[in-house]
Amino acid sequence: MNYYKEIKNELINNEITKRVKDYSKNKSDLTTYYNVGKLLSEAGKHYGESIIEEYSKKLTLELGKGYSKRNLWLMLKFYETQKMQTVSAQLSWSHYCELLAIDSINEINYYIMITEQQNLSVRQLREKIKNKEYKRLDDTTKNKLIINDSPTIVDFIKNPIVIKNILNKEIISEKLLQQLILEDIPSFLQELGNGFSFVKNEYRIKIGNNYNYIDLLLYNIKFNCYVVVELKVTELKKEHIGQIEVYMNYIDRNLREINQDKTIGIIICKKDNKFIMEYCSDHRILAKEYKLM
């Protein structure tokens, strides 16, 4: 087989398709680059890795810019990472170029999934990769993704939770930490995962003759439950567990409807204490660290 001729024809046909059928540009790009990657893989087995550089020079000379050694390498890797699964038409070639710099196929698949679910732009995807979102998931969640197991509400809560420090201030109080979260509540909710919505900050509840205030009250639409969030700028302490448990029970008794699931609690703290969490009998309570960016 004349691999170079086949590759050249694929690329020429793609250019023609993009000019004539504007609506199918993305599909044509992905199909073409996948096929080129496959041909490059087969050519490499016959002629060695140096064939990419050779083809790049010839294609650039005959077809013009856009066929550098790096671009051909990206097409090769695109084929190698996607040959065992269906290529997502919801992602553009620019999305895939961001993903192909990642070594782990499981990490690539995670970012493909959330790009589809959240309709992420290339810039938004790049930011999630930069913030190491996949690496901040726990091992249980990663294993669930590999075996395609059904997720729970807590699976995609990151650790640490990244909070944008747009005020550029040192955190010295829970009030200031709350203020930073409220300045960019959409980003904070995405750090928690899917389906979270904001209800109210400083949510007032009355216990006996005293008023207490829940730092953040959220609701998860997907999992149909309230979420109590308490903010701590210290290491996790045992009294924090008792406090949030009281708040959760209050919401369950006074706010939760019969068709809603039980409230969960998230303590966001400066430093986790796994020894305390080991003896916490209420599995609805989670402790996650925060990190300012």
* Euclidean distance between CA atoms 2 and 95, whole angstroms: 31
CB 63 within 8 Å of CB 12? yes
Confidence bin at 166 (pLDDT 50/70/90): confident
How confident is the model at residue 25, as a pLDDT?
A: 74
CB 120 within 8 Å of CB 133? no
Compute the half-sphere exposure of residue 83: CA atoms within 13 Å on the CB side of its CA: 12
CATH topology of domain 149-292: Trna Endonuclease; Chain: A, domain 1 (3.40.1350)
Residue 19 has pLDDT above 90, yes or no: no
Q: Which of 17-21, 37-41, 231-235, 278-282 has the lowest mean pLDDT?
A: 17-21
* Euclidean distance between CA atoms 135 and 270, whole angstroms: 19
- Nearest CA-CA partner of 33 in 83, 74, 81: 74
Q: Which whole-number Å values give the CA distances from 164 to 114, 178, 187, in the listed order?
A: 20, 11, 8
pLDDT tens-digit profile of 20-36?
665 567 889 999 999 99
Listed in order, the ranges of the chain carrying CATH 3.40.1350.10 are: 149-292
How confident is the model at residue 258, as a pLDDT?
A: 95
How confident is the model at residue 172, as a pLDDT?
A: 80
Mean pLDDT of the chain: 93
pLDDT tens-digit profile of 187-236?
999 999 999 999 999 999 999 999 999 999 999 999 999 999 999 999 99
How confident is the model at residue 171, as a pLDDT?
A: 76
Residue 252 has pLDDT above 60, yes or no: yes
* Euclidean distance between CA atoms 14 and 31, whole angstroms: 9
Q: What is the largest CA-CA distance in the chain?
A: 85
* Euclidean distance between CA atoms 184 and 62, whole angstroms: 50
pTM of the full predicted structure? 0.89
In which order are the strands placed within the sheet that holds 161-163?
161-163, 285-292, 264-269, 225-231, 210-220, 196-207
* Euclidean distance between CA atoms 111 and 99, whole angstroms: 8
pLDDT tens-digit profile of 51-103?
999 999 999 999 988 899 999 999 999 999 999 888 998 999 999 999 999 99
Strand pairing report for 264-269 and 225-231: parallel
Residue 153 has pLDDT above 80, yes or no: yes
